[in-house]
Amino acid sequence: MSRGLSGRVAIVSGVGPGLGIELVRGLAREGARLVLCDVDANNLEAAGREAAQLGAAHVEGLVDIRDGARCEALVANALAAFGRIDVLVNDAFLAEAPATFEDASLGDWQAVADVNLWGTLRMIKAALPALKRAGDACIVNVNTHGVERLDREFGGYTASKAALAHLTRHLAREFGPFGIRVNGVHPGPMDGEPRRRHLATIAAELGTSFEVLDAEARGRTSLGFLATPADVADAVLFLASPAARAITGQALYVDGGEWFH
Ligand SMILES: NC(=O)c1ccc[n+]([C@@H]2O[C@H](COP(=O)([O-])OP(=O)(O)OC[C@H]3O[C@@H](n4cnc5c(N)ncnc54)[C@H](O)[C@@H]3O)[C@@H](O)[C@H]2O)c1
């Protein structure tokens, strides 16, 4: 499908192996030029291979988004390679081990916020001058439906993402006059390999089976199935495309109708 993203230069922070790699595939198929970054060399290499196989012009940066200087260096490399930046997709994230607030260490919550909130803001800060020059640019922050559908044990992760949801609206307001749209995509649990492995571990801990937990999760949705990473990537691509030219400051929930926002 052609969404009008051909030739656009898109940065993706966090490129795999779930949603990140699907974003790379989707943007590459659209003919976008890609700037890939990740803190994990294996994930970065796999994403670069995939982009090359799909014929996408791309550059790669081994970047930890907790380091502002590395974010700035990535943007400089992108500009050296392509001369412009049109799209920034913030996908990289960290989640703490499940624990209540009472049991969790505040250091763990801070570490999570340093990636999900501050890391995302570092990327936006670094890319902002180039996005302003593009004149018709957009930022998509990958969030979670967990900012509304609260869980007892992931408060650090959801608090960092809730702050990001607020800043998505704030930055939409601030950057609108520069022609920069800012939106959030809020997935529910995505039906991919990472979740399957995670659920199998939890099932073993709880003395139940993957199938039971999986059926429960599907049963909570209206549509009876979980969105896949490819479904969520489609929503990101839509928001990044000219078809969404009048949409900014919005949260798009992609969770099979589990949570009504
Ligand atoms: N997996 C789910 O079911 C789910 C549900 C709701 C929301 N989300 C959100 O979707 C997004 C993608 O999740 P996913 O599970 O598909 O992950 P993913 O497969 O897209 O991988 C995320 C990548 O982020 C990278 N990363 C982590 N810390 C980094 C750092 N400091 N600097 C640079 N890169 C870093 C990791 O190495 C990894 O490659 C996240 O923002 C997450 O919060 C995921």
Tell whether 195 is covered by a domain. yes
Judgement on whether residues 93 and 220 belong to the same structural domain of the protein: no
Across-strand partners of 254? 187
Degrees (nearest 5) of the Cα angle 79, 83, 85?
70
Cα torsion at 169, 174, 179, 181 (round to 10°)?
-10
Q: Which residues line ligand 1 (CB under 6 A)?
A: 13-20, 38-40, 43, 63-66, 91-94, 115, 119, 142, 144, 187, 189-190, 194-195, 229
In a domain, residue 260? The reply is no
Q: Are residues 144 and 199 in the same domain?
A: no
In terms of domains, do 13 and 127 share one? Answer: yes
Question: When comparing pLDDT for 151 and 47, which is higher?
Answer: 47
**Residues 99-128: tens digit of each pLDDT:** 999 999 999 999 999 999 999 999 999 999
pLDDT at 239 over 90: yes
Boundaries of domain holding 203 = 191-226
Q: What is the pTM of this model?
A: 0.97
- Asked if 257 and 188 touch (Cβ cutoff 8 Å), the reply is no
The reply to whether 259 falls in a domain is no
Mean pLDDT score, 118-139: 98
Give a yes or no: residue 110 inside a domain. yes
Query: What is the domain-level CATH number for residue 35?
Result: 3.40.50.720
The predicted structure's pLDDT at residue 195: 87
User: Residue with structure tokens 């589990």?
Assistant: 258
Q: How many domains does the chain fold into? A: 2
For residues 48 and 26, membership in a common domain is answered with yes
Q: Give a yes or no: residue 4 inside a domain.
A: no
Name every residue whose Cβ is closer than 8 Å to that of residue 247 and which is 6 or more positions away in sequence.
181, 183, 239
Q: Which of 157, 236, 241, 252 is catalytic?
A: 157
Tell the burial category of 164 from Cβ atoms under 10 Å away from its Cβ (0-12, 13-18, 19+): buried
Q: How many angstroms does the Cα of residue 91 sit away from the middle of ligand 1?
A: 6
